[in-house]
C-alpha cells in the first residue's frame, strides 16, 4: 500500500486541476482510497466524482482501473483527463490501438485505464492485470450492479471475483442514484464494508424543477416543448418515449429555427456516434432522444432537460435531470406528464417478476407523489433518497407559485362509486355526465340516470373531476381498462371505506383563450423567478465574449468540445480579474498546469488586447 501525505493530494489537485480545495465529501472519499480502504461514494452529478479516483490514481503507484458501462462515456472522460495532463486510455471494441494501450499499461505508462464490465471479466484482461501494478479499482455507475437499482446490468455482477483476486487493492464504487435498498445491495455485491458508505447528498441546488400536465394530442404536447425552448437558451436534452416521437419532435423544433437532432437505438452506430459528437461540441443544440442517450455524455454545459413523458422511475428522473447544469451554472428540468403515462406504467407492473413487484410499485408511487405534490418538488425528491431537506427550496414551480390544496376525499368516493356502479368500463367523459346529471342517449340507454350516483356532483366540484381522475390513476386508485375505460385500482378500497383521504392541488382557473395562447401559458407558468444560483454569464461584456470566441476557435481547430478547454465559470473569472500573465492566469480556479501550458498564452493575448484596445 502506498500512503501519500494529505498535503500531496492537495498539491495534485492544485497543480493538475487548478482547484484550491476539495468540495463536499471528495476529500473524505479520497482519504479512504489513500488508506487502501474499500468505499461506496454516493455523490450527485456535478459533484466531482471523477476526481475521487483521478487524484488517488496520480498519488498512488500503478494504474487505476476504471470500470465504466459505456464507451462514449469513457472517451469523453479520457478527453477531459488528457487535457488536464493525465495519462488515460481505454480498452474497448471501438478502439483501434488496444495493443499499444496494453503495452503502455504493462510499462506503467498509464494513470487511468478504462474498461467495460464485460471485458473486465474476460480471461485475457485478467491475465493483463497480472502484468503491472494496480493503484485502485473504480466502479463507475455502481447502481448497475444491483437488481434493486433502476438500471441493473448483469455484467456488473461478474466484477466481484476480479476485485477479490486483488483484495489488497482499494475498490471505489461511485453512483449518483441509489435508494437505501440499492445501497445495501451495492455494498454486498462489491464486498464493501458498511462503514465504507459515504453520502455526499443528492441536492442539485442550481437545477430548477417544474412539472406540468401535458396537453392532449401530440401537436399540443410538441407546442408546449417549443414554447419552453423559446425561453431556454443553450444546449439541452428532450427525452421522448418512442423513436418516432424523437424524430417528430426534433423536426418540429428545427422548424422554429433552433438547431436540433434526434437520437435513438434504431439509428446505425456510425450515425449515433456522429450525432452524439455534434451535440457534445455544440453550445446550442437541442437533442431529442430516448433514454438510450445521456449516460455516455460527459457534457457539463447542458442547460436544460425536458421530459416529454413520464420517466421510468424517480431514480431515473433524478439521473436524467442531473445531466443538466453539471458545471454548477443555472439549469432547468421540466417534466410534461399525462394520465395515460401512469396507466401504461401500472399495466407494465403486471409483467414484473413477483420478487421485484413490491419495489417497482414503490418506485411508481414515489414518482406519482412527485408529480402530484402541491409542496416543494425538491423536498419530495430529496426525501425519497433519505434526506431531510427544508420545506421550501425557492427554486421549483410549486415554491414559485404555491397551489391551493383541496380536500377531495368525498368527491373521490363519489367518483370511485360511479366507476363501480356503471360497470368499470366507461371513460371519464361518461362518468362525468352521470355524476353531474347530464342525460344523453348513452346514459339513458344503460339506465345510468337511475343510479344513486346520478347528479350527485355540482358547482365547483364539477371542475375538479378530471384533475381528480388523473390523481387517482397516478395513485393506483383507478386504472385504465384495455379499451380505455376506467376501473377500480388496488388502492381504491381504502378511500371508499373512508380509511384514506385524498388531497389535490386546485387547478388554475380556465380562461377564454386561443388554443395556442393557452398552451403557451402552460409553458409560461413554469418560467423561473430569479434565484440565488451561481452567477450566469455576463451580458454585453466584450471581454467575456472575446474569450468565448477564442475558446470556440481553439476547440474547432483541435476537434474538441469547448468546455474541455475551460468552463464558462473560468472565462467569467478571466473577464473579471483580467490576468495578463501566465502566472496571474494560473491562480484562477480550473486552470491547471497542463491547461496553462497549452492554452494560457492564447487567452492572455486576448485579455491584453482588450485592455490595450
Residue bearing the bigger pLDDT, 181 or 77 = 77
> pTM for the full model?
0.79
Q: Do domains 405-505 and 542-612 have the same CATH topology?
A: no
In this structure, what C-alpha cell is assigned to residue 307?
Answer: 421530459
Distance CA 430, CA 438 (A): 9
- pLDDT > 50? residue 90: yes
Domain 542-612 of CATH type 2.60.40.10: no
pLDDT band at 533 (very low <50, low <70, confident <90, very high): very low
Query: Could you tell me if 238 and 304 are in contact, meaning their C-beta atoms sit under 8 angstroms apart?
Result: no
Average pLDDT over residues 290-300: 75
pLDDT digits (tens, 9 = 90+) for 231-274: 999 999 999 989 999 999 999 999 999 999 999 989 998 898 89
CATH architecture, domain 6-199: 3-Layer(aba) Sandwich (3.40)
Backbone phi, psi, residue 213, to 5°: -65, 130
- Mean pLDDT over the full length of the chain: 88
pLDDT at 351: 80
Backbone phi, psi, residue 15, to 5°: -70, -45
Superfamily of 207-400 according to CATH? P-loop containing nucleotide triphosphate hydrolases (3.40.50.300)
- pLDDT > 80? residue 579: yes
pLDDT at 2: 52
Q: Looking at 9-133, which runs of residues are DSSP E strands?
A: 39-42, 63-67, 88-91, 112-115
Neighbours of 560 (CB within 10 A): 17
Most confident of 146-160, 469-483, 595-609: 595-609
Query: Could you tell me if 299 and 235 are in contact, meaning their C-beta atoms sit under 8 angstroms apart?
Result: yes
pLDDT at 518: 42
In this structure, what C-alpha cell is assigned to residue 339?
Answer: 394520465
Percentage of the chain surpassing pLDDT 70?
92
pLDDT at 367: 87
pLDDT band at 343 (very low <50, low <70, confident <90, very high): confident
Distance CA 508, CA 481 (A): 29
Burial class (CB in 10 A: 0-12, 13-18, 19+), 444: exposed
CATH architecture, domain 405-505: Orthogonal Bundle (1.10)
Burial class (CB in 10 A: 0-12, 13-18, 19+), 578: middle
DSSP letter assigned to residue 402: P
| Torsion angle of the four alpha carbons 549, 554, 557, 561, in this order, in degrees rounded to the nearest 10 | -90
pLDDT band at 365 (very low <50, low <70, confident <90, very high): confident
- pLDDT > 70? residue 437: yes
Residue bearing the bigger pLDDT, 608 or 367 = 608
pLDDT at 284: 92
| Torsion angle of the four alpha carbons 78, 79, 80, 81, in this order, in degrees rounded to the nearest 10 | 40
For residue 405, the cross-strand partners are 505
Residue bearing the bigger pLDDT, 359 or 520 = 359
Percentage of the chain surpassing pLDDT 90?
64
Distances (CA, A) of 132 to 54, 105, 112, 125, 541: 18, 7, 13, 12, 51
pLDDT at 4: 54
- pLDDT > 50? residue 278: yes
DSSP per residue, 462-508: GGGHHHHHHHHHHTTSEEE-TTS-EEE-TTHHHHHTTSS--EEEPPP
Delimit the domains of the chain by residue range: 6-199, 207-400, 405-505, 542-612
Residue bearing the bigger pLDDT, 215 or 459 = 459
Query: Could you tell me if 589 and 20 are in contact, meaning their C-beta atoms sit under 8 angstroms apart?
Result: yes
Distances (CA, A) of 61 to 57, 167, 398, 511: 8, 16, 51, 68
pLDDT digits (tens, 9 = 90+) for 315-328: 889 989 999 998 88
DSSP per residue, 84-95: TT--EEEE-TT-
Neighbours of 587 (CB within 10 A): 12
pLDDT at 31: 96
Handedness of CA 143, 144, 145, 147 (dihedral sign): positive
For residue 64, the cross-strand partners are 112, 136
- pLDDT > 70? residue 578: yes
Backbone phi, psi, residue 582, to 5°: -60, -35
Neighbours of 94 (CB within 10 A): 12
For residue 525, the cross-strand partners are none
Query: Could you tell me if 385 and 183 are in contact, meaning their C-beta atoms sit under 8 angstroms apart?
Result: no
In this structure, what C-alpha cell is assigned to residue 495?
Answer: 378511500
Query: Could you tell me if 111 and 63 are in contact, meaning their C-beta atoms sit under 8 angstroms apart?
Result: yes
Q: Which of 422, 516, 412 is nearest to 464 (CA)?
A: 412
pLDDT band at 178 (very low <50, low <70, confident <90, very high): confident
pLDDT at 359: 73
Residue bearing the bigger pLDDT, 102 or 363 = 102
pLDDT at 342: 80
pLDDT at 474: 77
pLDDT band at 513 (very low <50, low <70, confident <90, very high): very low
Average pLDDT over residues 189-199: 96
Q: Which strands form 286-289's sheet, in the order they lie side by side?
A: 207-213, 331-337, 302-307, 235-239, 286-289, 260-263
In this structure, what C-alpha cell is assigned to residue 63?
Answer: 494504474
- pLDDT > 70? residue 519: no
pLDDT at 362: 75
pLDDT at 252: 95
Helix (H, G, I), strand (E, B) or coil at 331: strand
Query: What's the first-to-final CA gap in the chain, in angstroms?
Result: 56
pLDDT at 176: 86
Amino acid at each position: 500500500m502506498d500512503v501519500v501525505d494529505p498535503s500531496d493530494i492537495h498539491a495534485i489537485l492544485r497543480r493538475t486541476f487548478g482547484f484550491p480545495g476539495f468540495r463536499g465529501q471528495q476529500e473524505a472519499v479520497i482519504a479512504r482510497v489513500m488508506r487502501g480502504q474499500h468505499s461506496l461514494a454516493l455523490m450527485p452529478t456535478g459533484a466531482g466524482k471523477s476526481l475521487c479516483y483521478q487524484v488517488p490514481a496520480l498519488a498512488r503507484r500503478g494504474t487505476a482501473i476504471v470500470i465504466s458501462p459505456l464507451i462514449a462515456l469513457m472517451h469523453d472522460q479520457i478527453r477531459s483527463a488528457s487535457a488536464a495532463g493525465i495519462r488515460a486510455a481505454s480498452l474497448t471494441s471501438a478502439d483501434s490501438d488496444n495493443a499499444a494501450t496494453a503495452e503502455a499499461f504493462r510499462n506503467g505508462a498509464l494513470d487511468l485505464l478504462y474498461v467495460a464490465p464485460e471485458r473486465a471479466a474476460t480471461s485475457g484482461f485478467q491475465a493483463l492485470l497480472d502484468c503491472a501494478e494496480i493503484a485502485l479499482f473504480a466502479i463507475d455507475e455502481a447502481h448497475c450492479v444491483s437488481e434493486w437499482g433502476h438500471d441493473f446490468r448483469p455484467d456488473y455482477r461478474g466484477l466481484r471475483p476480479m476485485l477479490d483476486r486483488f483484495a489488497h487493492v482499494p475498490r471505489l464504487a461511485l453512483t449518483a442514484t441509489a435508494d437505501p435498498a440499492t445501497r445495501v445491495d451495492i455494498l454486498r455485491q462489491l464486498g464493501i464494508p458498511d462503514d465504507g458508505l459515504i453520502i455526499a447528498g443528492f441536492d442539485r441546488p442550481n437545477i430548477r424543477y417544474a412539472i406540468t400536465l401535458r396537453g392532449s394530442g401530440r401537436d399540443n404536447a410538441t407546442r408546449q416543448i417549443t414554447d419552453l425552448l423559446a425561453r431556454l437558451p443553450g444546449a439541452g436534452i428532450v427525452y421522448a418515449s418512442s423513436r418516432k416521437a424523437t424524430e417528430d419532435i426534433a423536426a418540429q423544433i428545427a422548424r422554429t429555427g433552433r438547431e436540433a437532432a434526434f437520437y435513438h437505438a434504431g439509428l446505425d452506430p456510425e450515425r449515433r456516434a456522429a450525432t452524439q459528437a455534434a451535440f457534445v461540441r455544440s453550445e446550442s443544440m437541442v437533442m431529442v432522444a430516448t433514454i438510450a442517450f445521456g449516460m455516455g455524455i460527459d457534457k457539463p454545459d447542458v442547460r436544460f432537460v425536458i421530459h416529454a413523458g413520464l420517466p421510468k422511475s424517480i431514480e431515473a428522473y433524478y439521473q436524467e435531470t442531473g445531466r443538466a447544469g453539471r458545471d454548477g451554472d443555472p439549469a432547468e428540468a421540466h417534466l410534461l406528464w399525462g394520465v395515460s403515462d401512469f396507466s401504461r406504467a401500472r399495466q407494465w407492473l403486471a409483467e414484473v417478476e413477483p420478487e421485484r413487484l413490491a419495489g417497482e410499485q414503490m418506485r411508481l408511487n414515489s414518482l406519482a407523489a412527485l408529480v402530484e405534490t402541491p409542496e416543494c418538488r425538491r423536498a419530495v425528491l430529496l426525501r425519497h433518497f433519505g434526506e431531510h431537506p427544508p420545506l421550501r427550496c425557492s427554486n421549483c414551480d410549486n415554491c414559485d407559485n404555491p397551489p391551493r390544496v383541496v380536500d377531495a376525499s368525498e368527491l373521490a368516493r363519489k367518483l370511485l362509486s360511479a366507476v363501480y356502479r356503471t360497470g368499470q368500463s366507461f371513460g371519464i367523459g361518461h362518468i362525468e355526465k352521470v355524476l353531474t346529471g347530464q342525460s344523453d342517449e348513452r346514459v339513458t340507454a344503460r339506465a345510468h340516470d337511475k343510479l344513486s350516483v346520478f347528479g350527485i356532483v355540482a358547482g365547483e366540484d364539477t371542475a375538479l373531476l378530471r384533475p381528480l381522475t388523473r390523481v387517482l390513476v397516478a395513485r393506483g386508485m383507478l386504472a385504465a381498462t384495455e379499451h380505455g375505460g376506467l376501473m377500480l385500482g388496488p388502492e381504491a378500497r381504502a378511500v371508499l371505506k373512508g380509511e384514506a383521504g385524498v388531497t389535490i392541488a386546485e387547478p388554475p382557473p380556465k380562461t377564454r383563450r386561443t388554443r395556442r395562447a393557452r398552451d403557451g401559458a402552460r409553458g409560461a407558468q413554469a418560467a423561473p423567478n430569479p434565484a440565488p444560483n451561481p452567477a450566469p454569464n455576463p451580458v454585453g461584456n466584450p471581454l467575456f465574449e472575446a474569450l468565448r470566441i477564442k475558446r470556440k476557435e481553439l476547440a474547432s481547430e483541435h476537434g474538441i468540445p469547448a468546455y474541455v478547454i475551460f468552463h464558462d465559470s473560468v472565462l467569467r473569472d478571466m473577464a473579471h480579474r483580467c490576468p495578463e500573465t501566465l502566472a496571474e492566469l494560473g491562480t484562477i480556479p480550473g486552470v491547471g498546469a497542463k491547461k496553462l501550458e497549452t492554452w494560457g498564452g492564447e487567452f492572455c493575448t486576448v485579455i491584453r488586447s482588450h485592455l490595450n484596445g
